[in-house]
Structure 1
Amino acid sequence: MSEGKIWTKNFVIVCLSSFFMFLTFYVTATAFPLYVGDHLSGNVQQMGLVITIYVVGGVLIRPFSGFWVDRFGNKKMALIGLGIFLLACICYFGASGIALFLVIRFLHGMSYAVASTATSTIAASLIPNTRKGEGMGYYSMFMSIAMVIGPAFGLLLWQDKNGMLLLSVITVIAFLSLLFVLPIKDQDTSIKSKPTAAKSSFSLREIFELKALPISIVGFVLAFSYSPIAGFIAPFANEIHQSKVASTFFIVFAVMIVVFRPLVGKIFDKFNEHVLFYPGFILFGLGLLLLSQSHTGSMVLLSGAFMGIGYGALFPCIQALAMKLSPMHRTGAANGTFFLLFDLGYGAGSYVMGLISSHSNYRTMFAAAGIVALAAIILYYFIHHKRQSAVKTIRKTASEAVE
């Protein structure tokens, strides 16, 4: 692979595999609560558990997924993860009760964590270091496209309340995700290939990449402030008598991500991450504050545009930076650390923001999320920007001393 080439055959294939995996996630996230309520006669709490139990499964296995990817190889773990992912989709056909359905859902979430860590590590290994930000931006763009198509497709599939059709379609999509991984040549960065592998042992230092931790904490805050968007836009739109704008909001949000994503990656590679992070958090935070004060559909959509640009700049850059700051043979652990903190932020944010809305209102909740996003600017400065500046100063001083 030439130093400047991104769009290799393997990179396109892994992007498509990830697209179908993410598409399965977003389809089930919207359709499965309805499936449980209508087809399995579940109550509101059980409908909510469909999402919660999936996230819990992913969070519990996420730290180990990075360790396994580094130890056993990214393609092998991608095949195992996607294989179980497909098997879980097939098992839904036999789940006639809530308890069994939730058990399968838990295993489905675990397999998703392993597969997403492995496929994103494959993608990262295929991107030249000089274009890491741009490449990961393109990769995450496929997630954004799935985020646009998935929810609407899930609701469309459940329009006639045909459980067999819904389960058949997600099984086919999961199969395509596995199928696209098969021809990929393994970019093996496993620690087995390293001279020190014989001395390595399973420990917290192996499953967490400490160099990726500071920027992953920033990712936690981003996910925390993003969490109320998916779950509360629709009821908020109903509250302000703009119910039809809810679906359009997500389209605007995702379109802004897709349109600006290539530019974001090029800026990340050509300049430094600070050029993107400060405007990104400002736009995302202001978008949430604007949403909290929205009374018309146009204001809701404008807030979605601001948030889409900001989130589109932040998410791929945080992930790319987590890997860029880590050793090459630890990209799996870096990915696992990033996704774990992001998942935890999303889960914690959903709970806290839900509490805020229940004790006040949706406007206060979105305003609180906006304040958290803007406060992340201070956090980013102290745990990353300032530290990186200090490291550069020390290196410069040492270099001048040697000369």
Structure 2
Amino acid sequence: MHIHGLIEDNAALANLCTRLANSPFVAVDTEFMRENSYWPELCLIQIADENEAAAIDPMQPGIDLKPLLDLLTENEDVLKVFHAGGQDIEIVYNLTGKTPHPLFDTQIAAMALGQGEQIGYSNLVDSYLGIVVDKGARFTDWSRRPLDARQIDYAIADVTHLSKIFPRMLEKLKRTGRGLWLDEEMERLADPANYFNDPDEAWQRVRINSRKPEVLGRLKALARWRELEAQGKDLPRGRIVKDETIADLAANPPRKQSDLARVRGLSATWGGNDIGGRLMAALEDAKPMRGDELPARDDRRPGVGKDGALVADLLKLLLKIRAKEINVAARLLARSDDLEALAAGQRNGLAVLDGWRYEQFGRDALALVEGRLGFAVKGGKLKMTRTEEPAAAAADEEEAA
């Protein structure tokens, strides 16, 4: 494989992207900093196919990333390969309003191959290539220039390893017939809606004990205000106001701006400055939260109830057994909210009752809920046992009577 090192000029970048556009796939990674900003500061982009690899410096004055971004978001013929790529995809979305597509995430693929729910990159490299990843540059300040040769080599190695792992993983998926299992997960990861920071939804990040509509309405208004302040100033939201202070203000709103000077977690100057005034305006505009927005009690879907919760627990036990049997991550088979909905009587719109998930787990999950599957202990081990169809059992009882 040819390693180009650090690309800093537009001609070299354009030529690289022209060549990569003819590849069946590219492995992609980014280095960024976000400790001191709201928006991630993109510091380095690494890309490789089976023949060549390079790092691109997006901080170079005058660099035009359009050929690269077009390759990632517009070229449907090239598969984009990431590992745990959520934050990398978010960066591309922030730059373009689009996500890389089509894409493949090796961490998600590992779930279908029985390598756990969140296998780390280092463990993946060790598993497939027998290489111990150098972790020495993990805490590099990637925004500092110049980058030395060791840092660049470290960064490029991330995608050269990934470009070797992906074909092996793909072959294994084909051999086990599990490639189709991943289509829905990859499309979900590529959905642009996942990366849009909606200020009106920001309140859901803040933990608060109250479920009173007026308190949650104030929380929603304050979280929205903080999100907009953080975006406008390009500061982490916690630098504007911390979560616990937002929750306290929602539960115990000040009557006038001067009261802000006595709020724990705020500077005394907020009692009379502009940002304090904007906070108070947000509180004054707050309306009680609508009933359809209120969070469900105990983090369970409405209608599950105590008996349904017990059934959901049995479904989770069944899920654990089945995931172990077929050597797949349980989270790929079914999510907790789907199991709770199934226990509550819902049958439509559940992923677990559709396609391969139904074949591998959903059919038995439905049988358990409907009384056609049970658990038994045999030889000290928990096993699933088929029972009579409810209708047949009822007919036998009626005949005996």
| RCO comparison, higher one (Cα < 8 Å, 6+) | 1
Both proteins in one fold, TM over 0.5: no
- In terms of Rg, which structure is larger? 2
Q: Going by fraction, where is strand more abundant, 1 or 2?
A: 2
Report the TM-score when normalising by structure 1: 0.30
